[in-house]
Amino acid sequence: MSVWDDARLRLDGLPDGRGLNIAHEAVDRHVIRGHGDRLALRFLRRDGSVGDLSYRDLGRDSSRFANGLDALGICPGDVVATLLERVPELYVTAFGTLKARAVLCTLYAAFGPEPVRVRLAKGRVKVLVTTAAQYARKVEPVRRELPDLTSVIIIDGDPPPGTAGWQQLMSAASDRWSIPATSEDDPALIHFTSGTTGTPKAALHVHQAVVAHEATAVAVLALGPGDVFWCTADPGWVTGVSYGIVAPLVCGATGIVDEAGFEPERWYRILAEQRVSVWYTAPTAIRMLIKAGDTLPRRHDLRALRVAASVGEPLDAGAVLWGREALGQPFHDTWWQTETGAIMIANRPGEPIRPGAMGRPLAGVEAAVVTRHQDGEAVRIEPTEGSGELALRAGWPSMFRGYLGDDARYRAAFAGGFYLTGDLVRRDGDGWFWFVGRADDVIKSAGRLIGPIEVESVLLQHPAVAEAGVIGLPDPTVGEMLKAFVTLKDGIAGDAALGRDILAHARRRLGPATAPREVVFRPALPKTRSGKIMRRLLKARELGLPEGDLSTLEDEPAASSAPPEAKASS
Ligand code: 6R9
C-alpha cells in the first residue's frame, strides 16, 4: 500500500462529503474532535518571550481572516500573498486564505524590491499582507505597476494611504466561517522557484497536496499528536510551508516557530527547553552547528529528540554521524523539490541509514534514472544504468499542477509520463539514491534555490555593467557561494570601488540572501555562437575542471587586448 493510501485513511475530508481542504485537515478538524485546547503553534520571539496559539485560537483567527477576505471581495482562486517574517499573522493568513479557497503565496521577507516586484506581478497577487516598513520600501514605489494588487493589509502601526489595517479587518470580521465545498484539484498554494532561464516559476499546488503532507510527515518524520516539531525553514520557501505550516498541524502536533535567526546557543536552547521531539533542518545549519563545536550540545538536555532530518542540499556522511554523536540522533536525509511539494526520497526512521545517500523512494513514489534526448520541441527519455537525471512517475498528490502563465515550461518538465527533476543522481544496486549535482545552472546557497538569470538581470541594471554571468562556487558552509563575472561598458575601467558599488547595488535590489558575494571584471564572457553566456564554462575554468564540449563556443577575444582584471568581495 502506498503512503498516500495510508494518509487518506487518516484524513477526515470536509463535513458532509464536501471535499478536501488543507485548512480543515490542519486546523478545524482537531477542534471538532475536541482538541481545540491543544497547542498548535508556539512562537519564540526575539526578546525571549513566548506566544502560543491553540488549535481553537488558530481556527477562530483564520476564520476571521477568511471573512475579512470575503469582505474585500476576494473570490476562490484569487491569490493572497504574505511578505512577513515568521510572525503569527503569517500563519493566520495562511489558513484563512485556504479556508476562503483563495491561493496562498508566501514571499521570503528578506527578498529585496526586485524579486518582490517580479513575484507579485507574475503571481497576479490580489491581496498582500505585510508590514509598514516592507510596504514602504518594496511595494509602494511600484504599486502602479501591479494592477492586480487591489488590497494591501498592514499588520503593524497605522496603515499608510492605500492600505488597510490588520486589526480593523480582523475586529470587524466574524470568527465563524464554514469552508465552502473544496475539490481536491482546487488551487491552494503557489511557490516561486527558479530555473536557468526566464523569470522565476510560480509552481501551483492543489488541496490534494495535504495527502502528501500528512503521509510524509508520518512516514518520514514519524510525527503525531504530542510531538513538538521544529522545522527551521522560513515559510518564504517551500519547506517552511509544507513542513513549517501544514504538516505538523495536520498531524495534530505542536509546531515551534523561531522568530529570530540562526545562533548556535539559541538553537540548542530551543531544542532543549521546548523539548523538541522531531527536528527538520538543513545542511547549512548543521555545518554551522558542527563549526560551533561539541561542548554546546553537551551543555543541553536533548533527550526529547526522537527524529532529526535534513533537506535542501547534499548532506554528507560526516554530518549524519555527527548528529548521532553530538545530539544523540543521526540526521535522516530527505530529498524533494518545490515541484514535488513533499518528500519523495528519504532515509526513514526505524530503518538503517545509509550515510551520504538521499535515501529510497517512499512507497507510492516511482523514481527512475534517465537520460533526456531533445527531439526538436519534444523531450524523450531513456532509462539509464548508473548516473543520470532523476525522474518521477507523474501523479503523486502534491505534484505541482502548473507554472502560472508558463504552460510551455510546465509541459517541458514532463516526458513519457515522468516529471523530470533537473537533478543528477546515482542509484546503487540496492535502490538507494545518491545526489550527483544539478543538470542545469541553478544555484543552491544556504538551502535557497537561486536562478542565475534573476541575479544577472539585476547586475545589468547597474549603469557600468554590459554583460553578466553568475555561477555558484563550492563553499564549505553554505554549499554554494554566488560569484558574478561582468564585462563593463566601453570606456569604463573596473576597479575595486566599482566592484563594491556593483555588489552593493545587487544587495539593495535583491536582498542579502540572493546577492552575489564576489564580482570580477572580465574583458569578455564565454558565449555560445547564439550569444548565450556559458556559465558552465565560467565555472569549469574557475575550478580548473575540464571545459567539456566547446563546439558551440564563440571565438574569444585574444588575451592581449584584455584590460587588467579587478575583483571585489563583500
Ligand atoms: C525542498 C527544497 C530543490 C533542489 C533539488 C536539489 C536540492 C533538495 C536535497 C537536495 C541533495 C538533498 N536538494 N534536497 N540535494 N540532497 N537531500 O529544497 O526545494 O528549493 O525547490 O530545491 O534542492 O537540487 O532539486 P527547492
Tell me the DSSP string of 443-471.
EEETTEEE-HHHHHHHHTTSTTEEEEEEE
Separation CA 247–CA 251 (nearest Å)? 6
Angle at alpha carbon of residue 22, lines to 18 and 23, rounded to 5°: 95
C-beta of residue 334 within 8 angstroms of C-beta of residue 362: no
In this structure, the answer to whether residues 313 and 415 fall within a common structural domain is yes
Helix (H, G, I), strand (E, B) or coil at 378: strand
**Domain CATH number, residue 44:** 3.40.50.12780
Q: Which residues line ligand 1 (CB under 6 A)?
A: 193, 237-239, 311-315, 333-338, 358, 421, 423, 435, 438, 444, 449
Pick the residue whose CA is nearest to atom 23 on ligand 1. 312
The three cell numbers locating residue 111: 527578498
Residue at 37 is within a domain: yes
In this structure, the answer to whether residues 222 and 290 fall within a common structural domain is yes
The three cell numbers locating residue 362: 517512499
**Domain CATH number, residue 462:** 3.30.300.30
In this structure, the answer to whether residues 44 and 118 fall within a common structural domain is yes
In this structure, the answer to whether residues 239 and 292 fall within a common structural domain is yes
As a whole number, the mean pLDDT across the chain is 95
For a ligand 1 pocket test, name from 237, 432, 449 the mutation site with the most ligand atoms within 8 angstroms of its C-beta.
449
C-beta of residue 435 within 8 angstroms of C-beta of residue 313: no
Separation CA 459–CA 199 (nearest Å)? 15
Per the structure, the complete domain to which residue 499 belongs is given by: 441-569
- The domain total for the chain is 2
How many angstroms is it from 438 CA to the middle of ligand 1? 10
Residue at 23 is within a domain: yes
pLDDT, tens digit, 9 for 90 and up, residues 439-470? 999 999 999 999 999 999 999 999 999 999 99
In this structure, the answer to whether residues 117 and 63 fall within a common structural domain is yes
Confidence of residue 567 (pLDDT cuts 50, 70, 90): low
The three cell numbers locating residue 100: 476562503
pLDDT at 154 over 50: yes
Which of 396, 427, 458 is the C-terminal boundary of a domain?
427
CB atoms near residue 17 (< 10 Å): 7
Separation CA 456–CA 253 (nearest Å)? 42
How many angstroms is it from 144 CA to the middle of ligand 1? 36
How many angstroms is it from 506 CA to the middle of ligand 1? 25
How many angstroms is it from 312 CA to the middle of ligand 1? 4
In this structure, the answer to whether residues 529 and 418 fall within a common structural domain is no
In this structure, the answer to whether residues 38 and 63 fall within a common structural domain is yes
C-beta of residue 374 within 8 angstroms of C-beta of residue 390: no
The closest-lying atom of ligand 1 relative to the alpha carbon of residue 334 is 17
How many angstroms is it from 560 CA to the middle of ligand 1? 42
How many angstroms is it from 313 CA to the middle of ligand 1? 5
pLDDT, tens digit, 9 for 90 and up, residues 239-271? 999 999 999 999 999 999 999 999 999 999 999
Pure H helices in 2-76: 3-10, 22-23, 29-32, 55-71
Q: What is the pLDDT of residue 564?
A: 45
pTM: 0.95
Confidence of residue 376 (pLDDT cuts 50, 70, 90): confident
pLDDT at 494 over 70: yes
In this structure, the answer to whether residues 380 and 290 fall within a common structural domain is yes
Which of 394, 427, 460 is the C-terminal boundary of a domain?
427
The closest-lying atom of ligand 1 relative to the alpha carbon of residue 237 is 20
In this structure, the answer to whether residues 369 and 450 fall within a common structural domain is no
The closest-lying atom of ligand 1 relative to the alpha carbon of residue 193 is 21
The closest-lying atom of ligand 1 relative to the alpha carbon of residue 438 is 24
